[in-house]
């Protein structure tokens, strides 16, 4: 084997592999007491497999120790496992719950380093650079991590190395609690690990095995003369993903190329609550508690320089039921009186049952809100209601999303020239002052939601309309202005869409309409043109 000088780095990465995460979660969630939470006790004593429904039937995702002894393996069909162990128990797997638990563990693992990153589906990477001395060295750091994970009932393997790839390889295929120091020869220490330690896709693994490359030494050896590396590079030259290219993974493992890691940063949502000494059943007492929580929330938000956009009020009843009421504001606010006023209409139909013992208010969505001090004199003279407060009251009364406003949209087609958005959202910036162009065209004040087809008498092929029938009445055209031709938006529509010729017309009674002819004669995009009425002028 030819030795390759890897890059020296002072970075230290801790890799944590939770190989039994899903099974451990299932065991802990089914334990009735601490004794049953131990591995091999209670329900975990029986052979059990976690399954996922597929198009070909249930498939094994993981199994406990008893299930593995009975022959269950990941990827096997449940029908095959039942031939080996008819008495095996099954439970549905929970991938979403596993990822949620892994995210919490990732944040919890920051006790060993300043930041940590998820390594789905069952791993965590922690940057422990320059922090090992706080635990008495890297060996004691790993021992501390092992003890805490054992205390939580989670099986885990650990390793520390200068790169994330090397740490991952050692935690999965190296000795327990392996440490790769910066002075170690990375190639020599990792040479006997299987190529699966490179975190490759299954199809790549199949190709490598067909080529006879089974260990990392087989890959590092081909780099000596450069010819072997060129051959591997040509085979995987079209695969840009690191997991699909063994050379990229090898370079990451050796530290030749950087491997960015996305840290998990916990967000602390403002939360206040009251645990009541006596359960409450009356509305007046509940309003008082909500008012106190609103005051606490206002102080909490003020301390963080934020305002709440969405609030969730949870009420825990004595019988175990939880009642939740959510509220979303049009603009960020920390006005306690405004929050109480909005929640008051949502508490009318609350069933307190035998009483509410805990009330919690959480701001699940908060935005920065500048600190400000109201002018007392100006406030005394102002008795109006702000627009945001008015919109919040309308939304509470009419429902979420009931209040919206139209904004201009960059389109030449009249029915697409505006869209609806939330009332306080900023208007989109249109290129070239599109709204000004619309004003020059003198659009009618009212445009129908959907253009109505009409029958028009006109001189073919493109003469002015003389009369038209709309909603059963015939209108004689006295004045005509137009046409204003609007071409199809070729970048959005098919080439068979026809153009429009718009006319502003006035009938004998002085009423003005906005009609258009859809298409031209012999434009090869359909038959005779159709006429539509789209707007009414003042």
Q: Quickly list DSSP for 152-203.
A: HT---EEEEESSHHHHHHHHHHS-TTEE--TTS-HHHHHTTSBGGGG---HH
pLDDT at 428 over 80: no
Q: How many residues does the chain have?
A: 538
Per-residue pLDDT at 420: 86
Ranges in the chain annotated CATH 3.40.1170.60: 18-93
| Spatial CA neighbour of 16 closest among 134, 138, 153, 156 | 156
27-41, 284-298, 493-507: least confidently modelled range: 27-41
Cβ-Cβ contacts under 8 Å for 384 (sequence gap 6 or more): none
Check pLDDT > 50 for residue 255: yes
The pLDDT value given to residue 227: 60
- With CA atoms as reference, report the closest residue to 146 among 333, 154, 478: 154
H or E element, residue 128: none
pLDDT in tens, 112-161: 998 899 999 999 999 999 899 999 999 999 999 999 999 999 999 999 99
Instruction: pLDDT band for 5, please (50, 70, 90 cuts).
Output: very low
Which pairs count as long-range contacts for 437-442, CB under 8 Å and 24+ apart, including other chains? 438/408, 441/484, 442/504
CATH fold of 271-368: Dna Ligase; domain 1 (3.30.1490)
Give the residues across from 307 on adjacent strands. Answer: 367
109 — pLDDT class (breaks 50, 70, 90) = very high
d(CA 234, CA 243): 16
Residue 296 above 90 pLDDT? yes
d(CA 51, CA 25): 14
Q: Is 480 exposed, middle or buried, given 0-12, 13-18 or 19+ CB atoms closer than 10 A? A: middle
Tell me yes or no: is domain 18-93 CATH 3.40.1170.60: yes
Residue 4: per-residue pLDDT: 43
According to CATH, where is 3.30.1490.100 located in the chain?
Answer: 271-368
Residues 312-362 have pLDDT tens digits of 999 998 888 888 999 888 888 888 999 998 998 888 888 888 889 999 999
What are the pLDDT digits (tens) for 17-60? 999 999 999 998 887 777 777 887 878 888 999 999 888 889 99
CA angle 393, 420, 367 (to 5 degrees): 55
Phi, psi of 510 (to 5 degrees): 85, 5
The continuous run of DSSP H or E covering 92 comes out as: strand 89-92
């Amino acid at each position: 084997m030819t030795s390759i000088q890897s890059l020296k780095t002072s970075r230290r990465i801790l890799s944590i592999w939770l190989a039994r995460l899903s099974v451990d979660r299932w065991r802990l969630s089914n334990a009735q007491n601490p004794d049953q939470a131990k591995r091999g006790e209670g329900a975990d004593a029986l052979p059990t497999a976690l399954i996922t429904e597929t198009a070909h039937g249930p498939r094994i995702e993981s199994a406990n120790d008893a299930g593995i002894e009975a022959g269950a393996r990941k990827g096997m069909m449940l029908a095959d496992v039942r031939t080996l162990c008819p008495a095996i128990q099954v439970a549905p797997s929970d991938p979403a719950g596993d990822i949620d638990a892994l995210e919490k563990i990732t944040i919890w693992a920051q006790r060993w380093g300043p930041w940590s990153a998820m390594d789905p589906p069952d791993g965590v990477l922690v940057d422990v650079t320059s922090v090992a001395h706080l635990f008495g060295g890297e060996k004691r750091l790993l021992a501390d991590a092992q003890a805490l994970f054992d205390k939580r009932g989670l099986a885990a393997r650990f390793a520390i190395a200068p790169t994330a790839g090397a740490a991952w390889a050692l935690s999965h295929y190296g000795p327990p609690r392996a440490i790769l120091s910066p002075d170690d020869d990375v190639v020599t220490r990792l040479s006997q690990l299987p190529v699966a330690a490179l975190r490759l896709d299954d199809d790549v693994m199949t190709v490598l095995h067909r080529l006879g490359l089974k260990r990392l030494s087989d890959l590092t050896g081909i780099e000596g003369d450069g010819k072997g590396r060129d051959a591997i590079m040509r085979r995987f030259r079209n695969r840009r993903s690191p997991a699909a290219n063994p050379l990229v993974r090898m370079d990451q493992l050796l530290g030749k190329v950087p491997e960015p890691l996305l840290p998990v940063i916990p967000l602390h949502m403002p939360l206040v609550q009251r645990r009541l000494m006596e359960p409450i059943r009356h509305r007046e007492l509940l309003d008082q508690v909500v008012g106190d929580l609103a005051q606490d929330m206002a102080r909490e938000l003020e301390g963080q320089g934020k305002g709440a956009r969405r609030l969730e009020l949870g009420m825990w009843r004595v019988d175990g039921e939880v009642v939740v009421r959510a509220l979303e504001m049009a603009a960020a606010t920390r006005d306690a009186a405004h929050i109480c006023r909005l929640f008051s209409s949502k508490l009318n139909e609350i069933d307190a049952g035998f009483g509410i013992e805990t009330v919690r208010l959480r701001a699940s969505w908060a935005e920065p809100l500048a600190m400000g001090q109201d002018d007392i004199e100006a406030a005394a003279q102002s008795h109006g209601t702000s627009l945001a407060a008015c919109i919040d009251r309308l939304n509470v009364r009419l429902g979420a999303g009931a209040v919206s406003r139209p904004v201009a949209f960059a389109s030449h087609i009249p029915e697409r020239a505006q869209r609806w958005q939330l009332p306080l959202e900023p208007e989109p910036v249109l290129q070239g002052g599109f709204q000004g162009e619309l004003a020059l065209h003198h659009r009618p004040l009212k445009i129908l939601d959907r253009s109505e087809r009409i029958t028009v008498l006109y001189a073919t092929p493109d003469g002015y309309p003389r009369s038209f029938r709309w909603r059963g009445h015939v209108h004689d055209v006295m004045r005509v202005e137009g046409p204003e031709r609007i071409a199809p938006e070729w970048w959005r529509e098919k080439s068979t869409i026809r153009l429009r010729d718009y006319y502003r017309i006035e009938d004998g009674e002085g009423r003005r309409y906005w009609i258009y002819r859809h298409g031209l004669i012999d434009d090869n995009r359909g038959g005779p043109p159709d006429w539509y009425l789209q707007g009414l002028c003042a």
